Structure formats: structure tokens, C-alpha cells
Amino acid sequence: MTAASDRLELSRLVHRFGLGPKPGEYLQLLAGGIPQARAKILARRSDPGLNALVTPPFPTMGQAPSDPTASAAYWKEVYDQSVSVAMWWMDRMVLADYPFVERMTWFWHGHWATSISKVTYALPMKIQNDTLRTHALGNFKDMSRAMVRDGALIFWLDGEENVAYSPNENLGREFMELFTLGVGNYSQSDVHQAALGFTGYNVDQTSGAVTFDPKLHDNDKVSVLGKRQVFDAVTLSDWIVSRPENATFIARRLWFRFISSSIEPPASLSKVFENRDISPLINSIARNPAMRRPQYSQAKSPVEWFVSACRALRVTPSKLPSSGAVSWYLDSMGQFPFNPPSVGGWPYDEAWLTAAATQYRINLAYYLVQNGHIDALTSVPKSKMVQAAADWLGVAQWSVRTERSLNQAVSDSARLALLALNAPEYLVNA
Amino acid sequence: MSPCDFNRRQFLKYTGAATIAATLSMQDVAQAASVTPLPLGTPILVIVTLYGGNDGLNTVVPYLDPAYLSNRPDMSLDASEVIPLSDSLALNGTMTGFASLWTANKLAIVLGTSYPNPNLSHFSSMAIWQSGSPIEEISSGWIGRYLDSLPRDPFRAIGVGSTLTPLLAGDHRVGSMVPISGLQVPNGSLATQLELLAVSSTQDSELIADAAGSIGDLFSLSSTLTPVLQNAPPTSATPLAQQLDVVANMITANVPTRVYSVSLSGFDTHADELSQQNVLVGQVSDAITAFLTQVGTTARANDVVVMVYSEFGRRVEANGGEGTDHGTSAPVFVAGNRVAGGFYGEQPSLTNLVQGDLAVVVDFRDVYASMLEDVLGADADKILNNWSTKLDLITPVS
């Protein structure tokens, strides 16, 4: 008999550090014990699940044609690419056998939150996504260096408007507030001077290509966080990331999204991030005793819920009959990849648990079950189907209330799947 | 990161709300379906949040001030592009609806509004406005605390949209969210089984109780709202007007709601501001004027008060991209038949700046206190942590 605390810890490992179990995976991992399961979930290795996935082309769109017919086709193509780049990424999240890298990339997307609503074109967003994936478990200093020269991010925060003779503070401020240091660890003067350091970078909006124009760059010394020198984006990023506050800030951001938005991390957590290596930090978080304590529950965001449901149902998002339906439902629930509501990223926990989101979730779950595979339920006798649903979805334990509801549906396994995907214990990772 | 930042970011975290969600039962659901209509003459507050930091100086424009023109050479509005309200201030020329409300003495403009030591971060500043607490950091919204002071009722405060706005989250109660397209619930055995998932369980953590509560709320809200919303789907073209269509339908159907929350994004105009901000403030003006006109033809004409705010105004001096960076104080608008129209506070100097930005003339808590006491009949000093002053924005019922 497995300990309830093992079921809880494994449920957190597969949902928070993976993206939900594939059919049979939860019981299989449970049988091997927590240390082995954790090693598998945190492993970085070539992923056979992604072998068959073809990356669609995202060609440079160039300028919009003036001819009305050609223009309409151009903008339809731009829109279609914005859906298909999101579907491509969600395919990766769903198909991966080792989804840890995709999970981390998803975290970093919310951290460096850049929205296609302004960037417009899929290609720059795809380039940024590849950059975040490359550095997802690498060194934060390298990631930050790459991001301050990322076309989508610069365009999103008006970096191409930021020129020596008239600085624009948007990138300088958000870089320190949201990406590296956190509010309170810099002054308004630092924001202004950092903006000067970031001057001179131009972006080609449709391709995301970044060029540096020395004539638009401030070549005078500026003073940022007590250091006075001539900065460019890279030296400025290095200096800010080297500040001790960066280690505390990034450690807390990861803890916030992986462990708890309400209970603070231990003060010692940032020690393992002294070299700015992300992998030891996230591994330390995954091994924290909080993983076994009941009070650290977290709600799944709409995309996390959708991806985990697709993994369980063996549904490939882009192969569903209608990509439009998927994007409409997720958008209505408040979350679609590459389209965060602001540079602050997405909300969390209680904000997702509204009556409004519930109705879309019920309908989307119905659509997914219709188009998915539920042999994990149909292959067991009725008397075992409710427990089989918990094992299938990686739920530690159903409440008595949920068991009562699911028991009413054991003669209709599709109905039972629909209810299980909407059960409070599936919406919230206990 | 300072501890204070963590708390600000904690703003969406309303632990106590779960206590209430956990008490939701099938009896609550049945009761909500037969809820009593809001009596005529009961005041209703509609809060409009403008996300991104609306540029106050290009909304209520000091159009003759040489400092306005010299600080914004490529993005100031000249006399032909504004609607003068006085010999020094004018509305952005796209705001013709607000100009007509002004003429009818139904529009109050509270100048120079912010709070002590304004914060230039979108997120910190919006948390301060929505919590109603500039000094002490607290994790509930000011309307949420109004809900805390009253018995639980999922109808009392409603936001239009899908994700919960922090404004409506108290320590023990939360407002409800309703999407523009309304709420549809399944029927038959699926409804029975889903409602079983909403029953509270002693095993529930706070978040799981919230998840169960959200399923229950869908059924309780839908039974009342679906007939209302299906009879009159939104017809307007802009996002804010569509949200206000939904609110107007609920108000005219006597849904027992005292506070509605709607919002519009896109005001973070660091670059190419004129083309964007003119359109947005025009939409705000058009949508609110049309909304007040619509409810103005009903028996609720004198019940509705609309308040419009943003997390901050913008810098006096334009940046190189013909936009403006984050600033401080800006006008707040209050509109409605019972509003005592006119200017409140005064326009901050464009030359005598405080740390490079506009001075703060009015504390937003003076506006909130007026809304709480004179619209909602609530105890403002309790909800606003002993705040004791207010503006007289609302004409008393004679």
C-alpha cells in the first residue's frame, strides 16, 4: 500500500515539474518510488515523444501589401501563424515524454512576458521561444544577455523608440522591476540611466532581427545602481544580474509559480543560485520538504489544465478538428500562449477559479473527451473506475464529494472522464 | 526583492475567500435562483478601470499652458483638437459624450488625483488603487472589503470578464465574474453530477474549496442571469461598450447587484501615443455616455454612478517616441444623474514638479469614501482603514 504522502508528492512532481502524466505513467512512477520518479521527471535527455513533431514554417512576412485583396490574405496569414505557433508549442508540451524543459520554457515565457498582441508576427515570438528553451535550464546571466537583444522583447517594450537623445523608460524599468531585481531594489534615477544604457537597438518587426546603431546609442557614462560607466545592453544586463538581489528575486519567482503563491520560500533558497545556474535552483525546489506538506496547493492555469488533459487523453492539440475552437476556449478562460495580458505575466491561483471560466472549461473538456482516448477507464470494471480515474490523471486522492459525483457516472465512462477533468482536485493540484 | 514587493504581488491571494466558498450548499443555489430583485432607488456603482496608466494631460488638457505645448512638441493637442471646459482646461476632442455630460452638470472631474509618494510601477500602483491602501499593504480589494461587511451574496458585486479582478476580492467574500457572452450551464444528469462536484467537503484546502465554489457559483448565477443576458446580447462595437451593454441589461432586469466592475486596457502609451490614446479615451467617453443614456430612459436613471480611474497618469515631457513614460497624478471621472458636476481639486502645475512629476492634489481615498458612503451607504472609515475625509461628489436624495 502506497503512503498518501507519496501519492501527494508524486502528483505535485508530475503536474508542476512535468505537465501532467500520460496514461499509466502515474502508477508506473509510483511503483518505482519517489526518488526514481523525481529523477525521471527532472531528467534532461533527447525526447522520443517529440521525434514525429514537425515544426511548421514561420516565414518572414515582410511589409503588408497595399493591394486590398493581397492585404487581406497577408493579414489572414499573420493571424493563422499566431494560432499555429501557439498550437505548435502546446503540441510540444503534450507530446514530450520528458516535458520538464517545456515546463520551464512555459515558466520563462510568463516571466519575460511578451505578447503577440503588440509584436503581431509569429516569427519573432518563435525566435524568443527558442531562446527561452535554449536557456531554460542554463545560466540566467546568459538568458538575460540573450533577452535584452531579443527582437520581440525589445519591440514589446518600445526599445526601438529608446534613443540617446530621447530615452524611453519602458524596457529599463520592466527589466529591473519584473525580469531581474523586483520593485524596491532600484531608484527612479536607475530606471532613467538604465534606459540610456539600453539605447540604440533597432528591430525589424516582421523578422525580429535586431541591429545596433551606435549613432542612436548613448555613449556617455551613466550611473546605474552605483556603477558609473558606458553601458550597452549586454554589459548593463551583466551588471544588473550580478547584483545579489537578482538571486533572491529569481529564486522567489520560481518558488511562487512551482510551490506556493502565498507561503514564502526559505531564506536560504537563493544560495544555490549564486552562480545564476537555473538547474540547481529548480532541482532544489523540487526536493524541498514543502513538496510533501499539504498546505502548498496550487491552481492550474487554463493552459496547464488543457495540456495535462490532452496528455491524459492522448490528444495532439494541432490535430483537433478545430484550432479555432481551442484558441477561442482558452482565450475565453483568460490564457493563450504568446498572449499574456501584460508584461507582468498571467495571474495565478484563485484568479482562475471563477464561474465564468468554469463554463468554458466544462465545454472544452467535453470537446477533448469526444476527440480523445479514455481506455484508461474503459479497460477497468465499473467498481474500480473512480480510483482508476485518479491514477490516470495523477490525482493524489478524490474527496468524498467528488467520489459521490463520479460514482453516478460509472456506467458512462466518457461522462466520468468529463467530470473528473472538472473535479476540484484536478483543477487544483493539492 | 523587498518583502513589500512580495506582498504587493500577493494581492490576488485572498485566503479568507475560501471560507465562504466552502459554505456554498445546494440550498444557497436554490435560494439564489429565487433572489429578490434590487429595489428601485437603490444606488449602483459602476467602476471603470483603465489599465496601463492613462495620460491625464491628454485627457483633461491644459490646452493653453505654454509648458504643456513646449513639453510635448509633437504630441500636444491644440485648441482645435479639444473641447474647452474652462479658460484653462479642455477635454480631448474625441470625448464629445463626456462634454455633453459636463454641460448637463452630470460629470465630476477630480483633478490631480493619486496618493502619497506615487509608485511608478504598473503593478504596484494598480495594487494600491485596487486595495485602496497606499500606506499599509493589504491583500484585499476595497470593494472586496465592502462585501466583507455584508452577508454573502454572489450577486452583490459582479465583474464582467473571466478572471477575477483583485478589486472585488475581500478577506472573506469575493465578487462574481460574468463573461460578455453570459453563462450557460448544462442540464439533466450532467448538471446534477457537476453540482455534486460543487458541494463543500471538510477535506478541502482553501484553493480546492474555491474550485468547488466556482462550479456552484456558475449554477447559481446562471439561473438568474442567463434569461437576462440571452434576451439582449451586446450590440456595441468596442470592448468597453460591450461590457457596459451587459451591465445595462443586468441593471434594467433588476439583478440585485450594487457594484459592477468593467475595464479597458491599452493605455501604456510609451510610443506613438496620439493615435492610440485619442481612440481609447474616445471609446471611454462614447461607451459611458451611451450606457448612461440607456439606463437614463429607465426607472433606474437616478440610481447609477460611474467612476473611472487608472493606476497613474504620465510624465509631463514626451519621450523620443512621441509617447510618455509613467507618471503620477491624473483626473478621476465620476458621472451620473446624481453626480454634482464640475471640477474638484485643482490642476497640478506643469512646471513646479515633485521629483520630476505632477504633484498630488487629491487623495483617491476622498473619492472612494464618497462612493462608499454616498452611493453604497457603507462605512468608509472602516473599509478605508480610518480614512476620515471625502469629497461631496453625490447630490443627497431630497
Q: What are phi and psi of A159, to 5 degrees?
A: -60, -30
- Residue A342 to residue B51, Cβ atoms within 8 A: yes
- Residue B279, min C-alpha distance to chain A (Å): 16
Q: For residue B90, what are the β-bridge partners?
A: B61, B84
**Partner A, chain B 213-242, Cβ-Cβ below 8 Å:** 213-215, 217-218, 221-222
Q: If contacts are CB pairs under 8 Å, which of residues 221-250 in chain A contact chain B?
A: 245, 248-249
Q: Which of B50, B162, B223 is most worth mutating to test chain A (most A CB atoms within 10 A of its CB)?
A: B162
Q: Is residue A108 part of a domain?
A: no
Quick one: pLDDT at residue B19? 25
Q: Residue A203 is inside which H or E element, if any? A: strand A201-203
Strands (DSSP E) along B1-117, which ranges?
Answer: 44-50, 60-61, 82-84, 90-92, 107-114
Nearest to B1 among A188, A249, A415 (CB): A249
Task: Compute, in degrees rounded to 10, the torsion defined by CA atoms B387, B389, B391, B392.
Answer: 110
pLDDT at B22 over 80: no
Q: How confident is the model at residue B231 (pLDDT cuts 50, 70, 90)?
A: low
Alpha-helical runs (H) found in chain B: 3-9, 17-21, 26-33, 66-71, 96-103, 122-131, 142-148, 188-197, 206-231, 239-252, 273-296, 364-370, 380-383
Residues of B within 8 A of A357 (CB-CB) are 162-163, 177, 214
- Residue B36 pLDDT > 70, yes or no? no
Query: Are A158 and A168 in contact, with CB atoms under 8 Å apart?
Result: yes
The more confidently predicted of residues B26 and B280 is B280
pTM above 0.90, yes or no: no
Based on the domain organization, do A215 and A155 belong to the same domain? Answer: yes
* Judgement on whether residues A282 and A234 belong to the same structural domain of the protein: no
Could you tell me if A255 and A184 lie in one domain?
no
Residue A137 lies in a domain: no
The 10s digit of each residue's pLDDT in A162-180 is 999 888 999 999 999 999 9
Positive or negative, the Cα torsion across A410, A413, A415, A418?
positive
| pLDDT level of residue B398 (50, 70, 90 thresholds) | low
**A156 and A235 inside one domain:** yes
- Clarify whether residues A184 and A220 are in a common domain: yes
pLDDT band at B374 (very low <50, low <70, confident <90, very high): very high
Range of the domain at A265: 244-292
pLDDT of residue B331 exceeding 70, the answer is yes
Q: Is the Cβ pair B205, A350 closer than 8 Å?
A: no
**B243-267: average pLDDT:** 91
Q: Do A400 and B123 touch (CB under 8 A)?
A: no
Chain B hits for A400, CB-CB cut-off 8 Å, are: 201, 203
- Please say if the pLDDT value at position B268 is more than 60: yes
User: B96-133: per-residue pLDDT in tens?
Assistant: 999 999 999 999 999 999 999 999 988 889 999 999 99
How is residue A86 written as a grid cell?
501557439
Residues of B within 8 A of A185 (CB-CB) are 1-2
Say what the pLDDT of residue B3 is. Answer: 28
pLDDT at B333: 98
Among A202, A218, A241, the domain boundary falls at A241
| Distance of alpha carbon A36 from alpha carbon A18, whole angstroms | 14
With cell 491625464, the residue in question is B56
Which domains does chain B possess?
3-383 (3.40.720)
What size, in residues, is chain B?
398
What the block records as the C-alpha cell of A220 is: 556617455
Q: Is residue A48 part of a domain?
A: no
Residue among B13, B123, B162 minimizing CB distance to A344 = B123
More confident residue, B221 or A48: A48
Q: What is the mean pLDDT of chain B?
A: 86
A67 interfacial to chain B (CB closer than 8 Å): no
Contact status, residue B182 vs residue B229, Cβ threshold 8 Å:
yes
Let me know: does B75 contact B322? Beta carbons within 8 Å: yes
Q: What is the pLDDT of residues B171-198, one digit of tens each?
A: 878 888 888 877 778 888 999 999 999 9
Residue A406 lies in a domain: no
pLDDT recorded at residue B8: 32
Within this chain, do residues A234 and A149 fall inside the same structural domain, yes or no? Answer: yes
Domain stops at, among A203, A222, A241: A241
Beta carbons of B108 and B340 less than 8 angstroms apart: yes
Assigned domain for A119 exists: no
Q: Same domain for A169 and A224? A: yes
**What's the rounded Cα separation, in Å, for the pair B380 and A147?**
46
What pLDDT shows up at residue B18? Answer: 26
**Span B37-52, mean pLDDT?**
93
B295 touches chain A (CB under 8 A): no
Q: Is residue A224 part of a domain?
A: yes
- Answer whether residue B12 shows pLDDT above 70: no
Say if the Cβ atoms of A360 and B162 lie within 8 Å: yes
Residues A235 and A208 in one domain: yes
The pLDDT of B46-69, averaged and rounded, is 97
A183 min Cα distance to partner chain B (Å): 6
In a domain, A10, yes or no: no
Domain boundary among A270, A292, A314: A292
Confidence of residue B326 (pLDDT cuts 50, 70, 90): very high
**Cα distance between residue B61 and residue B90, in whole Å:** 5
| Contact residues on chain A for B6, CB-CB shorter than 8 A | 252, 264
Do A191 and A249 share a domain, yes or no? no
Cell of B69: 505645448
**Lowest mean pLDDT segment, chosen from A181-190, B91-100, B163-172, B294-303:** B163-172
Residues A208, A197, single domain; the answer is yes
The Cα–Cα gap between A40 and A147 comes to 30
Q: Do both A152 and A236 map to the same domain?
A: yes
A115 falls within a domain: no
User: Would you call A245 helix, strand, or coil by DSSP?
Assistant: helix
The count of other CB atoms within 10 Å of the CB of residue A71 is 12
User: All 3 cell numbers of residue B324?
Assistant: 510618455
Cβ A158–B321 below 8 Å, yes or no?
Answer: yes
Q: Are residues A193 and A235 in the same domain?
A: yes
Domain count for chain A, please give it: 2
pLDDT at B181: 74
Residues of chain A contacting residue B186, judged by C-beta atoms under 8 Å apart: 362
Residues of chain A predicted below pLDDT 70:
1-2
Chain B, window 146-175: residues with a beta carbon less than 8 angstroms from a chain A beta carbon: 154, 161-164, 169, 174
Distance CA A318, CA A92 (A): 10
Q: In sequence order, which ranges of A42-67 are alpha helices (DSSP H)?
A: none
Write down the pLDDT at residue A27: 97
pLDDT band for position B317 (50/70/90)? very high
Q: Which of B74, B124, B193 to mutate to test the interface with A (most CBs of A within 10 A)?
A: B193
